[in-house]
């Protein structure tokens, strides 16, 4: 079979293992796991015929495992029933051979099993793949920020020369932004609905009117590591998923900003890439070393974010108690997240190849001494000079001034000797404020977050 998606073809070596969370096989296994966990929890209520020791053993052994042959059998049943969750139920009846097979899927609706299955899969993905990747990205950036914390770097606002900074501080901005989202991702809990066909527990309450099914449902959902949704229709409202997608979208946006900035820095020559032996940058221009990993990441981030926005919009809307459109849409959650994951891997590859060209960066800073006018007018304000901003604007706006011209302008002012010395002593390469301290603080905060993760 030929692949349709590049995720399953060109990029399979980087994302194929995500099939453990996002494939049809994984979804069916998670649904079966929910059904099996529910069967054991229902048995503990002692409301129905109890499972024998042998039956409980078969139930426990079936959890977390779904062989290829078993998955194929579920799909075979589904082709006849045209219902995926019913196929899981009938498969479990065959596999478990219970004395009382009606215990399986007792009082449930298919969405009870399905939404909890997605919660399990996304929780596992977040913990096993998504957060570890984010920590690797933060570690790589923190290392760069720490190494270059004091290295002077040209800044541009509106594309024009601005007060210089340090390369480490500029990278630390992304460190700080990603750590903030990482903490939110750490704290996020996926939600779970478990309340029957229209969210009323009607079937279970009809069978056992005096039993506290709300408390049972809350305990059961919590046992799966999910946050209990107490009030719902047949389906989970999707708000929790939208909140999660919001975190991922913000992370995508931060990485996109990083990719774009590094691309620009490479283009300007302030940042350089290591050439890898054997690689080709152009089919016709032998000299080229292209920022392909940042560009590839950019493209995948755009795709991921567009899909996540669409998912957030669709999954928070349903006709009355439910319609089936969400089921089709949910099957693409993995595609959206896989594009984000692929983007992260590409950014990491790019980060592994970049380095600051200190000489080039310093030279670019030195060629724009007009950026010192900010410091000049601030020192003059503090010294009580009347409206120094306007004086400097008239002298410098739209002009490229050298240090000699700036110093000549200073000499025209009636200033105290210490103020004059401070102005004449300013140099663009030293006009970076406390940038290195800011970078080090951001790195220290990131290291703390990374240590907390173990």
The β-bridge relationship of strands 354-356 and 271-273 is: antiparallel
Q: Which class for 385: exposed (0-12), middle (13-18), buried (19 or more C-beta within 10 A)?
A: middle
C-alpha separations of 143 from 140, 248, 413, 443 in Å? 5, 23, 45, 8
Architecture per CATH, domain 111-357, reads as Up-down Bundle (1.20)
pLDDT at 450: 96
Report whether 225 contacts 232 (CB < 8 A).
no
Pair of tokens at residue 437: 């301290």
Please answer whether residues 112 and 193 qualify as being in contact, where contact means their C-beta atoms are separated by less than 8 angstroms.
Answer: yes
Q: What share of the chain is helix, strand, coil (3-state, %, to 5)?
A: 65, 5, 30
Outline where 4-52 has alpha helix (H): 12-15, 19-22, 24-44
**10-residue averages of pLDDT along the chain (454 residues):** 84 92 96 97 97 96 94 96 95 96 95 95 97 98 97 95 96 98 96 92 96 97 96 83 96 98 96 72 54 94 96 88 83 94 97 96 94 93 90 74 89 92 95 97 97 86
What angle is formed at CA 383 by the lines to CA 382 and CA 384, rounded to 5 degrees?
90
Sign of CA dihedral 210, 214, 215, 220: positive
The residues spanned by each domain of the chain are 14-106, 111-357, 364-430
Hey, is 176 helix, strand or coil?
helix
Q: Where does residue 387 fall: left (phi above 0), alpha (psi -120 to 50 degrees), or beta otherwise? A: left
Which pLDDT belongs to residue 282? 42
pLDDT on residue 298: 96
164 within 8 A of 365, measured Cβ to Cβ: yes
CATH topology for the 14-106 domain: Fumarase C; Chain B, domain 1 (1.10.275)
Burial of 257 (0-12, 13-18, 19+ CB in 10 A): middle
Active site residues: 158, 282
Identify which of 421, 449, 453, 365 has the alpha carbon closest to the alpha carbon of residue 180. Answer: 449
Nearest to 154 by CA among 426, 440, 429: 429
| DSSP-assigned letter for residue 126 | I
Q: How many other CB atoms are there within 10 angstroms of residue 234's CB atom?
A: 21
pLDDT for 16 equals: 93
pLDDT of residue 341: 97
How far apart CA 333 and CA 23 sit, in angstroms, is: 10
Q: What's the topology of domain 364-430?
A: Ribonucleotide Reductase Protein R1; domain 1 (1.10.40)
CB 228 within 8 Å of CB 221: yes
CA dist., res. 266 & res. 270, Å (int)? 6
Those residues whose C-beta lies under 8 Å from the C-beta of residue 446, and which sit 6 or more positions away, are 138, 139, 141, 142, 175, 176, 179
H/E element, 152: strand 152-157
Euclidean distance between CA atoms 356 and 38, whole angstroms: 56
Identify the pLDDT of residue 398.
Answer: 66
- Which residues share a beta bridge with 191? 227
């Amino acid at each position: 079979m030929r692949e349709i998606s590049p995720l399953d073809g060109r990029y399979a070596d980087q994302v194929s293992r995500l099939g453990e969370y996002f494939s049809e096989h994984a979804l069916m296994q998670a649904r079966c796991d929910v059904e099996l966990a529910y069967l054991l929890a229902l048995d503990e209520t002692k409301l129905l015929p109890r499972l024998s020791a042998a039956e409980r053993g078969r139930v426990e052994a079936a959890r977390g495992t779904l062989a290829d042959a078993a998955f194929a059998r579920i799909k075979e049943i589904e082709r006849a029933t045209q219902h995926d969750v019913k196929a899981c139920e009938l498969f479990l009846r065959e596999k478990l051979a219970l004395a009382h097979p009606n215990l399986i899927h007792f009082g449930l609706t298919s969405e009870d099993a399905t939404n909890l299955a997605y919660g399990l899969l996304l929780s596992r993905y977040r913990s096993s793949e998504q957060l570890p990747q984010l920590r690797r990205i933060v570690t790589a950036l923190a290392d760069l920020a720490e190494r270059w914390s004091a290295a002077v770097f040209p800044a541009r606002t509106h594309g024009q020369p601005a007060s210089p900074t340090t390369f480490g501080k500029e990278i630390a901005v992304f460190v700080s932004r990603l750590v903030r989202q990482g903490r939110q991702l750490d704290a996020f809990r996926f939600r779970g609905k478990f309340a029957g066909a229209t969210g009323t527990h009607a079937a279970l309450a009809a069978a056992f009117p005096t039993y506290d099914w709300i408390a049972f449902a809350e305990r059961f959902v919590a046992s799966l590591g999910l946050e209990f949704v107490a009030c719902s229709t047949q389906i989970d409202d999707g708000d929790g998923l939208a909140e999660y997608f919001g975190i991922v979208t913000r992370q995508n946006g931060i990485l996109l900003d990083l990719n774009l900035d590094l691309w620009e820095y490479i283009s300007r020559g302030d940042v350089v890439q290591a050439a890898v032996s054997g690689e080709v940058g152009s089919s016709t221009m032998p000299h080229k070393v292209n920022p392909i990993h940042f560009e590839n990441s950019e493209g995948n981030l755009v795709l991921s974010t567009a899909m996540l926005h669409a998912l957030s919009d669709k999954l928070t809307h349903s006709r009355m108690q439910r319609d089936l459109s969400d089921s089709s849409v949910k099957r693409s959650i993995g595609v959206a997240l896989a594009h984000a994951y692929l983007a992260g891997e590409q950014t990491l590859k790019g980060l592994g190849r970049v380095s600051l060209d200190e000489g080039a960066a310093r030279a670019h800073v030195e060629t724009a001494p007009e950026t010192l006018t900010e410091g000049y007018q601030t020192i003059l304000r503090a010294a009580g000079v009347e409206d120094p901003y306007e004086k400097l604007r008239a002298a410098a706006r739209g002009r490229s001034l050298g240090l000699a011209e700036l110093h000549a302008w200073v000499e025209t002012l009636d200033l105290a000797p210490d103020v004059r010395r401070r102005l004449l002593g300013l140099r663009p390469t030293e006009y970076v404020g406390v940038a290195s301290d800011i970078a080090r603080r951001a790195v220290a905060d990131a290291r703390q977050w990374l240590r907390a993760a173990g």
